[in-house]
Chains A and B, each alone.
Chain A
Amino acid sequence: MRNTLLFAALLTITACEPPISVVKFTTWGEDFIETGIPADKFEDGWSVKFSRFLVVLRDTAIADTTGAVGAQQPGAKAFDLVKKGPVEVFAAAAPGKAWDVVRYAIAPDSNADATNIEASDLALLKSRTASLIAIGTGTKAGVTKSFEWSFTSNTLYDACERAGGGGKGITLVPGKEVMVQLTVHGDHFFYDQLSGDAKLRFDPIANADANNDNKVTLDELATVQLTALPQGQYGTTGAANIRNLREFITQNMRTVGHFEGEGECTPKSR
């Protein structure tokens, strides 16, 4: 109904304007965030289940190569990607044509609006000035280690392009609604390489539980120097000054934002 009204409103646009389409952005954490990462995906037999995966999305936009913006997300919205998705981020009218630039940000925002997120979780994001909070557990052979990691990073995912050479951006078809998915990959936290072939591991994270309270904090991860981990694991080729497990995981956090499933964006720190 809302889209019908949106199209109806667009009929008032003069004939010389470009034909209008509607772009609808959604976000989704896929099965790994919604239901968990099974043990057969990990190299060391752990499995991971998120209980909450809170993320703030803002600055979502489409633009053309001249820089002209076709649609821009108003404000910011917070989501819990453990809840079943995809979930709408926003929808807007835009001229029906090719838009070479799709971008969005995962960034803190004190004015973020709630969507499918509990009020207490929205308050948690704001109180920590966080862009992303991942809460969950790793389990292996009867041992469970919980984690609650908050990140304040501000990352723009720019120049998104589809996987498999599918091209940059999107093409809006006049008179049609086009869905665009901002996909979030929860398994990146557990990759053991910053580039090249990576495996999922949890052993070093579990072993970081220095006080053995079965809760692995970012502060505990910061005490694990990468030089204490086996050679061949947690390689930082393609990165600089990543010294410990906290920095490593924080870097991987900056890569969670994707586009239309496996499509890539260029992450830019802000």
Chain B
Amino acid sequence: MRTLLFSLLLVGCDVATQQTRRTFPVEVVVSAPTAPLETGWMVTDLTGSMPLTELRFYEGRVLVARWSPMELIISTAHAHPGHYVPGSSMGEVLVPLELDLSKRDVVPWGEANAVTGSYGSARLGLGTVRLRGTAVKADQTIRFDTGPLTLAAPLEGIRFEHEMDTSSGRVRLEVDLGVLLSRIEFDKHGSSAGGDGVITFDPASVAFNGFDRGVTDSGSYRFTWQPN
């Protein structure tokens, strides 16, 4: 009898927090810097690839810190090292996509298997990322190759706040190369040019360090809901 009562209570709870299964498309667009970076470097002729291996949405919301005049987006849902708790999983795209970083058009990624509810953050899996281009600052021109960067784990805690219902629309991921490149000090590459004039960053260099930190900066990725 007590088991039955407990089961009925569970049913009641289920009704109260009911979620509806749904799918929605996820698309990706790459935006490149159109002005000098904050380091003063102007970067052009960008090519490269960013393999997107997985995308998961979670309910855990992120912390948005506003520091006047600059807004910081600080995105640890439970901002405690080792205690990151993204909460319940709300949706996922597990089909990989090789993202061409030289293209600026919107690329369909895949259909997310998801549920309705309150979304707060996303986790993005990346394969080996590599960029090439030309960086110019004052009288310096550097044709660079970042070399390959492979992350040990997916990027967690990227902000995506949306009350997902059954309405029609899609999620857009914007990869902002302006933010991603903004920490690179291109002249601190720790290497010398190859026969083709291209300098490949030494993996131990300050330049590669900045590349690594730009790729892992959650500000390089923006998720938005695009209603149809």
B-binding residues in A (CB < 8 A)? 153, 188, 191, 193-198, 225-229, 231, 235-243, 247, 251, 254-255, 258, 264-269
Contacts and interface: CB of A to CB of B under 8 A. Distances in A.
Interface in B83-103: 83-85
Given A255-B80, A269-B63, A241 B210 contact: no
Given A194-B79, A195-B76, A238-B218, A231 B209 contact: yes
Contact of B76 (A194, A225, A228, A258): A194
Contact of B74 (A193, A227, A240): A240
Interface of B: 60-61, 63-66, 70, 72-85, 153, 155-159, 179, 183, 185, 204, 206, 208-210, 212-213, 216-220
A229 B208 CA distance: 12
A247 B213 CA distance: 14
A195 B157 CA distance: 9
Contacts of A227: 183, 185, 206, 209-210, 213
B215 to A, nearest CB: 10
Nearest to B154: A237
B156 A237 contact: yes
Given A242-B74, A254-B79, A236 B217 contact: yes
Q: Which 9 A-B pairs have the closest CB atoms?
A: A240-B219, A198-B81, A238-B157, A240-B73, A269-B65, A255-B79, A240-B218, A227-B210, A238-B76
B54 to A, nearest CB: 15
A240 B218 CA distance: 5
Given A239-B76, A254-B79, A264-B78, A269 B85 contact: no
Contact of A153 (B61, B65, B208): B65
Given A231-B209, A239-B217, A266 B74 contact: no
Contact of B85 (A242, A255, A264, A267): A264
A241 B84 contact: no
A251 B65 contact: yes
